[in-house]
Chain A
């Protein structure tokens, strides 16, 4: 019993190492956020944005998924800026200053660069799994 447990635990450790080191195959320069994006991430967390919004479908359900909102061709950056700055009837006004708004937008651009939240139909394979290219 104990031996089986140890074997499974060792597999878990190896798997964890593989997940940490290999889950993002992109070039490091493409993935690293700049200072502004990092500051935006801090604001995102401090204002608890994920309680209402999702990134990659993870988070709250009151507002839309924001993974690819930064490059949404239908909604220009000004639209995004206005929402963040003033809120709406449903979204409270967080009274953010311009620097915070800019860093949040930089954060959303950085998120957008990481991939698409929606999986298109042609990515589904015969086994029911996805074939997502990075």
Chain B
């Protein structure tokens, strides 16, 4: 593996560590703002946490794609100058973003809380990545490519589109209507989540093909159908973010209809349970496989939550409550992080390490799964209480609404310690192996 790619993977893992530490600190700043306002206020910690999480997912996805692309092209040792430029520019911009946060310089947009000027180097570096990817036989040509390549290409391309789109607010015409501004913002953000999901689900599919040796799962009509369904959801299923915004009603109708197609994914997962059980017996010794299975479990329960939240009548209660946070945490940690850890396990060759290392990873794996489950459930309970007090009994006073919510969030914060310990230890082990192992192509 080229040095720059190794640096990229290690940086991604450092971002995971930063996400966990800032996340835990942010929950404490949320619960005890009077104390934290003195030195590290919540409005400063949240951007650190959100950006670290966002960049962990995007950086990790891009690192996996670059690595697998080079593996497929048998160009693993080739030092690609464009990829090198992308990685250095991308990582140095992230460093500047954190520097801005430490100086309390914000851009104040949801997800993208840094000064908007910094979107320019991010955009340039992403264009470099796209240039290097689409300038290969994987990116070119239209036919006979496994579905994971379609998914990677789609994810890379749509990230570019949605990244540009979420910056359109800088054009005055978009700002001249708040309804337009908020609609376009959440259209872009919603689809952007779909774009990194494409990159990650492509990675997961690639790993399953490599583990099982069965290429057919990434080809054929069924794989194509689910890819197209995922793509349609990426494009049109973002409206649930803004159901309550009085924008044109057809936006709500489109999103509602498209989101109900997710039932097909749900039924598909249930149908696949038996195969998964057989598969589990066969591959359970592999850490890579365990992370993929964890991601599938989290897809299952988060899909159920997403389906409920996509019904406007239910969204009326859940919107703006911690149920939305539960969904965000369940997907970013449960799905995205698990797939990325599966990918890095595979790339760094952790499946071939000593039994002791595998045992430690296994313990941390279970600590993080149970901690995440408690965290997720506590956010759901907190959300249900807030929804009841806000929408069902129409309390107006915010302090009064939040009074019974806070103790539940304290349980969530406590489970956050388990998440930091579990996932944090895994990240440290992977960083160590990233720095020291001679791992190369699997």
Contacts and interface: CB of A to CB of B under 8 A. Distances in A.
Given A52-B43, A65-B320, A92-B41, A132 B180 contact: no
B107 A45 contact: yes
Interface string A46-72: 111111101111111111110000000
A32 B33 contact: no
A57 B244 contact: yes
A92 B36 CA distance: 10
Interface stretch (B181-189, B345-353, B419-427): B181-189
Contact of A119 (B42, B177, B182, B316): B316
Interface in B1-49: 30, 33-34, 37, 41-44, 46-47
A2 B37 CA distance: 54
A1 B247 CA distance: 34
Give the size range of A's interface with the partner.
35 or more
A46 B242 contact: no
Contacts of A2: 142-143
Interface residues of B, number: 64
Contact of B180 (A8, A23, A49, A54): A23
Given A45-B109, A61-B322, A129-B312, A115 B176 contact: no
Given A19-B187, A119-B316, A58 B241 contact: yes
B182 A61 contact: no
Interface stretch (B231-239, B281-289, B330-338): B231-239
B320 A20 contact: no
B108 A46 contact: yes
A124 interface: yes
B247 A59 contact: no
Q: Most chain-A Cβ atoms within 10 A of its Cβ — which of B42, B46, B107, B109?
A: B42
Nearest to A107: B178
Contacts of B311: 128
B30 A130 contact: no
Interface string B227-253: 010011001100001111111110111
B177 A47 contact: no
Interface string B168-180: 0000001111111
Give the secondary structure class of B's interface. helix
A80 interface: no
Contacts of B98: none
Contacts of A82: none
Nearest to A41: B175
B41 A31 contact: no
B139 to A, nearest CB: 13
A96 to B, nearest CB: 14
Contacts of B320: 54, 57-58, 65, 117
A106 B106 CA distance: 21
Interface string B284-327: 00000000000000000000000000011110100110100100
A133 B33 contact: no
A116 interface: yes
B112 to A, nearest CB: 11
B235 A48 contact: no
B248 A22 contact: yes
Contacts of A39: none
B164 to A, nearest CB: 12
A25 B247 CA distance: 7
B247 to A, nearest CB: 4
Given A1-B142, A119-B316, A131 B249 contact: yes
A61 B325 contact: yes
B254 interface: yes
B224 A1 contact: yes
Q: Most chain-A Cβ atoms within 10 A of its Cβ — which of B174, B256, B312?
A: B312
Contacts of B224: 1
Contact of B316 (A11, A65, A124): A124
B180 A20 contact: yes
A56 B242 contact: yes
Contact of B178 (A31, A48, A92): A31
Interface in A1-59: 1-2, 4-5, 8, 11-12, 15-16, 19-20, 22-26, 28, 31-33, 38, 41, 44-52, 54-59
Contacts of B34: 89-90
Contact of A133 (B246, B251, B252, B396): B246
B76 to A, nearest CB: 28
Given A62-B33, A89-B34, A115-B179, A50 B110 contact: yes
Interface of B: 30, 33-34, 37, 41-44, 46-47, 106-110, 113, 142-143, 150, 165, 174-180, 182-184, 186-187, 224, 228, 231-232, 235-236, 241-249, 251-254, 256, 311-314, 316, 319-320, 322, 325, 391, 396, 398
Interface of A: 1-2, 4-5, 8, 11-12, 15-16, 19-20, 22-26, 28, 31-33, 38, 41, 44-52, 54-65, 74, 89-92, 110-111, 114-119, 124, 128-134
22 contacts: A1-B150, A1-B224, A8-B228, A15-B235, A23-B184, A25-B248, A28-B176, A47-B106, A48-B44, A49-B108, A50-B108, A50-B110, A54-B320, A58-B186, A61-B322, A64-B398, A65-B320, A114-B246, A124-B312, A128-B314, A130-B312, A134-B246
